Amino acid sequence: MQRIVHDLPTTNWCATTSLAAEDRSVVVSNADEAAQLIRECDSRLQTFGARFSYPTYVTAHDGLAVHLRSEQQILASDDETITVTGDCTLGAIWDHLRDRGRTLPICPPVITQQTVAGALGTGTHAQGTGEGILADTVLSIDYLDAAGQLHRIERGGEAFGALQLHLGALGLITQLTLQVTTNSDYVAQKYTTSGDDLRQNFRVWNERSDHVKAWWFTEEDRVHVWEVSSADSGITIDPSGTHTDLNPILQATQQRMGAELRSDDRTIAPQRTVGRFYDYSDVTGDLVEIFRNGIPAPQINMEVGVPLDRFEAAADDLRRVLADSAYRLHYPVILRPTGPSSAWLAAAYDRPTCWFGFVVYQRADGSVADGSVELLGEIQAALAAHEGLPHWGKYFDPVHYDFAALSRWEDFKAVRHRLDPRGRFLHPRLANLIA
């Protein structure tokens, strides 16, 4: 195979897990090269993006790791659309649009180093009940099937909902066109309140604000909230005002984290994710300025989407699970609600959803605290009882979920069989679910 390149990344983004052998990694620079590779090669193919997904679902030790490296990633852009290659990063898209006074019609996620094809394939989202997930901004998708044939499918096409969250199992995404809108400024009101207020009024906050994100410090049952509204809403803030009421909780959280990570170094990434909340204040800016502030850190990241109308009951059950556990989370539960999505396999398919996010940070040696993974299992069981479904790009244990409850589950499987009857793009673990 002439395309093998020996300096391609073969691990996940933080180099804690091997994903591919160096002599089984190939690079293609365009759709023609990718099509030729698919036709010439008889191995299983795993497309590699920025490798942020949980490693279990992106390993390529049993096949070829395919890296798309386009010479030009942003192919066209105007006031209504942007066309990019699958390996273009979300950050590059937003930066390009913002320079022109435009943006995508959704809130950006905190981590934008991921490729657009990978973000689409795993169901990447942010927050805002007036919008869906990233997949809902896509107008057309170009992809190569398992025979190396190039297809273009547009919104409204018969299988478009399958390609919107493709799991890397339907082919190789080469190009996408996304919807564009005018970039606008927002005001972000930040405050800390009680867990009772959260459980009683979370949906009220979302009805009155465009975007809501909350961090639930369950040990103290306190919640840090960002309510973000259009700058034209008439809401005024005092950006010079600094709030210190969260600081004691942050100190306790960092102490617990330090004990679990066996490190008192406050400069490491996990500690900095908590430290950024000290002395918080209201802010103004566009959605990128407000929300794109993630700090990547080695971790087990899990997220479960629960129907928004089940939020109160799900939150009550989650609180009981955490109270009964001997393990203590060393990062707050992250709450991000979105509106309905048209992506068939999204937990938010056809329903407003609240995404409950959980983080277990890894120590320097890659280990995690005893009992933490077991607690993640208990959490999944509790939220699945409220029709919860997992984020596909993060950690989850399939035993807890009823995927057949997704109304388009069998439709997705039928599309997969049609586009890839031999399962060349199907990861072995996914094969247990969608073969």
The whole-number average pLDDT for the span 142-153 is: 97
- What was the pLDDT predicted at 1? 44
The whole-number average pLDDT for the span 297-301 is: 87
Q: Is 51 exposed, middle or buried (0-12, 13-18, 19+ CB in 10 A)?
A: buried
Domain boundaries, the chain: 74-183+416-434, 186-404
- What was the pLDDT predicted at 287? 96
Q: Are 142 and 176 in contact (CB under 8 A)?
A: yes
pLDDT at 387 > cutoff 70? yes
- What was the pLDDT predicted at 23? 84
| Average pLDDT score, the chain | 93
Q: Are 170 and 420 in contact (CB under 8 A)?
A: yes
The whole-number average pLDDT for the span 194-201 is: 96
Q: Is 55 helix (H, G, I), strand (E, B) or coil?
A: helix
Q: Is 70 helix (H, G, I), strand (E, B) or coil?
A: coil
- CATH for the stretch 186-404: 3.40.462.10
The whole-number average pLDDT for the span 71-91 is: 97
Of 96 and 113, the structure prediction assigns the larger pLDDT to: 96
Predicted confidence band of residue 4 (pLDDT cuts 50, 70, 90): low
Q: Are 150 and 171 in contact (CB under 8 A)?
A: no
What letter represents residue 166's amino acid? H
CB atoms within 10 A of CB 274: 22
Alpha helices per DSSP H over 45-193: 90-98, 116-122, 160-164
Alpha helices per DSSP H over 8-84: 31-40
Q: To which H or E segment does residue 276 belong?
A: none
Of 326 and 6, the structure prediction assigns the larger pLDDT to: 326
- CATH for the stretch 74-183+416-434: 3.30.465.10
The closest of 423, 429, 361, 374 to 398, measured between CA atoms, is 429
Q: How far apart are CA 132 and CA 340, in angstroms?
A: 5
Q: Are 367 and 152 in contact (CB under 8 A)?
A: no
pLDDT at 179 > cutoff 50? yes
pLDDT at 428 > cutoff 90? no
Q: Number of H helices and number of E strands within the chain? A: 12, 18
| DSSP one-letter code for 227 | E
Predicted confidence band of residue 156 (pLDDT cuts 50, 70, 90): very high
Share of the chain above pLDDT 70, in %: 98
* CA dihedral of residues 418, 421, 426, 431 (deg, nearest 10): 100
Model pTM score: 0.94
- What was the pLDDT predicted at 6? 57
pLDDT at 248 > cutoff 70? yes
Q: CA-CA distances (angstroms) from residue 67 to 171, 187, 401?
A: 13, 40, 32
Q: How far apart are CA 281 and CA 3, in angstroms?
A: 51
- What was the pLDDT predicted at 5? 61
Q: Is 350 helix (H, G, I), strand (E, B) or coil?
A: coil
Alpha helices per DSSP H over 61-186: 90-98, 116-122, 160-164
Of 5 and 244, the structure prediction assigns the larger pLDDT to: 244
